[in-house]
């Protein structure tokens, strides 16, 4: 149970049952793997500070985001304010991309007579949370007793590494800037009850909370101040093929990678997210190019909501990986020295500009790096390379199976997939 307690302490959690009695209550053995499997759902709930096992139910606006709560009257004989939005309730970011035009209207009800002056203060908060996951490793040491070669009992320290997953939250909050103030909130006090949201440089979807505060006066004397708020979803639109080509050109290679990653969709996620929200893929990939853990990159709101930024980021990263693969090959694979058997390979990556076969190898290696983080080709002790097929002669054989510690089957399979997509070009059949 020390391992389990260590995990909870590391992520700052108090599990709802006593650690001492956990195994007895759960009816499981106190093996760390069994325990972690058993409490996976519960630890997710605790991490999200949510009582539901459905992660979608936990994607709510934190209370700290909204500074003022609506004032609801005891009955309709008291004045109250309502918000209406003319036209459709759908607010959709265009494929440009551009934020939707949004005009809101407020009306005070519950007043008798007509001798009132009403000023309206508007405010809006736009909030989005994308939840992926990241891995962490807990290192534990324990002492065990064993016999040495002389038969003496000795103490040995055994180190064990346990990998587990925790949510990776991406929270983005925009307070829509306006003129004037309302206590605690930016806003604009006007006699007009209509408000067109000034988006400015904002480009983000999610939950738009629109709030209005109506100050009611009569004869210059304030008699009431009432507030209300409504929440509206803002979703995104996927680009057309022509728009994508405007960013990456008519490159079947890059179009194939984008198709393999997302089927050319920045939005409409497969799981954990709803229609029109950024597309997600495990562990923490987002959008057209499934931007995940690119070294040195901190994901911003644009990677989630601006398909142009997402596509260019992935495209540029793919180009960087090609350069890395080429430099790697130049370092490890050099032309053979004449008369010295086994001194090097017979092809030279420096000639990739004119040698299509070599360039294909380098791109395949870049594909593998993009998908797995590891190269496809890698020098081994026999001066060979990491292969996709079990067809080399120098590997050891165990029970008739070839064992190659330098294999990268996932990267190889991804490269094969990209090559197949480049030949099929399924994006030409979507009609987008």
Whether the CB-CB separation of 215 and 147 falls below 8 Å is answered with no
One domain, residues 359 and 322: yes
Q: Which domain holds residue 265?
A: 241-429
- pLDDT class of 62 with cuts at 50, 70, 90: very low
Whether the CB-CB separation of 97 and 305 falls below 8 Å is answered with yes
One domain, residues 289 and 379: yes
Which of 235, 250, 268 terminates a domain? The answer is 235
Whether the CB-CB separation of 279 and 273 falls below 8 Å is answered with yes
One domain, residues 251 and 389: yes
One domain, residues 303 and 217: no
One domain, residues 248 and 211: no
Which of 211, 235, 259 terminates a domain? The answer is 235
One domain, residues 376 and 272: yes
- The mean per-residue pLDDT over the stretch 2-31 comes to 49
* CATH assignment of the domain containing 354: 1.10.530
One domain, residues 353 and 422: yes
Percent of all residues in the chain with a pLDDT value above 70, rounded to a whole number:
62
CA–CA dist 392, 397 (Å, integer): 11
One domain, residues 268 and 357: yes
- pLDDT class of 32 with cuts at 50, 70, 90: low
One domain, residues 157 and 22: yes
The one-character DSSP state at 177 is P
One domain, residues 152 and 247: no
One domain, residues 12 and 150: yes
The phi and psi torsions of 194 (rounded to 5 degrees) equal -105, 145
**Sign of the torsion formed by the C-alpha atoms of 138, 139, 145 and 149:** positive
**What average pLDDT does the structure give for the chain?**
73
Mind listing the pLDDT tens digit for each residue in 327-362? Answer: 877 766 555 555 555 555 444 555 555 567 778 888
Structure-block tokens of residue 140 = 């534990």
Which of 190, 217, 235 terminates a domain? The answer is 235
pTM confidence score: 0.71
pLDDT at 61 over 60: no
Counting runs of H as helices and runs of E as strands, what totals does the chain give? 9, 15
- The mean per-residue pLDDT over the stretch 358-369 comes to 88
pLDDT at 20 over 60: no
- pLDDT of amino acid 386: 52
Q: What is the total count of domains within the chain?
A: 3
One domain, residues 212 and 348: no
* CATH assignment of the domain containing 188: 2.60.40.10
Mind listing the pLDDT tens digit for each residue in 215-262? Answer: 888 877 888 888 888 888 899 999 999 999 999 999 999 999 999 999
């Amino acid at each position: 149970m020390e391992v389990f307690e260590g995990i909870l302490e590391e992520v700052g959690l108090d599990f709802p049952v006593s650690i001492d009695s956990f195994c007895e209550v759960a009816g499981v053995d106190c093996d760390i793997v069994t325990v972690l499997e058993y409490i996976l759902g519960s630890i997710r709930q605790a991490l999200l500070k949510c009582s539901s096992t459905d992660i979608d139910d936990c994607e709510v606006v934190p209370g700290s985001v909204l500074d003022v709560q609506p004032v609801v009257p005891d009955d309709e004989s008291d004045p109250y304010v309502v918000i209406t939005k003319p036209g459709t309730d759908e607010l959709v970011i265009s494929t440009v991309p551009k934020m939707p035009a949004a005009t809101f209207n407020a009306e005070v009800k519950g007043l008798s007579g007509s001798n009132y002056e009403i000023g309206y203060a508007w405010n809006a908060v736009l909030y989005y949370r994308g939840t992926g996951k990241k891995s962490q490793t807990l290192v534990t040491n324990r002492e065990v007793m064993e016999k040495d070669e002389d038969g003496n009992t000795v103490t040995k320290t055994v180190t064990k590494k346990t990998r587990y997953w925790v949510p990776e939250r991406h929270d983005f909050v925009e307070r829509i800037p306006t003129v004037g103030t309302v206590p605690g909130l930016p806003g604009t006090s006007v006699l007009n009850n209509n408000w067109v949201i000034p988006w400015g440089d904002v480009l983000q979807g999610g939950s738009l909370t629109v709030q209005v505060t109506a100050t009611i006066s009569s004869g210059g004397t304030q008699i009431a101040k009432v507030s209300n708020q409504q929440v509206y979803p803002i979703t995104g639109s996927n680009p057309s093929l022509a728009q994508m080509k405007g960013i990456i050109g008519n490159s079947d290679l890059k179009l194939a990678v984008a198709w393999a990653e997302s089927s050319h969709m920045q939005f409409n996620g497969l799981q954990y997210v709803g229609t029109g929200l950024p597309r997600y893929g495990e562990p923490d990939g987002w959008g057209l190019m499934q931007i995940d853990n690119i070294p040195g990159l901190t994901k911003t709101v644009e990677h989630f909501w601006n398909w142009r930024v997402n596509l260019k980021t992935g495209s540029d990263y793919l180009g960087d990986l090609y350069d890395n693969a080429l430099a790697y090959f130049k370092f490890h694979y050099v032309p053979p020295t004449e008369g010295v058997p086994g001194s090097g390979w017979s092809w030279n990556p420096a000639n990739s500009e004119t040698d299509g076969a070599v360039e294909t190898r380098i791109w395949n290696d870049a594909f593998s790096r993009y998908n797995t983080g590891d190269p496809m080709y890698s020098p081994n002790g026999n001066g060979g390379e990491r292969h996709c097929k079990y067809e080399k002669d120098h590997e050891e054989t165990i029970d008739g199976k070839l064992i190659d510690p330098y294999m990268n089957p996932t990267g190889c399979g991804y490269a094969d997939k990209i090559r197949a997509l480049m030949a099929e070009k399924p994006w030409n059949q979507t009609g987008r």
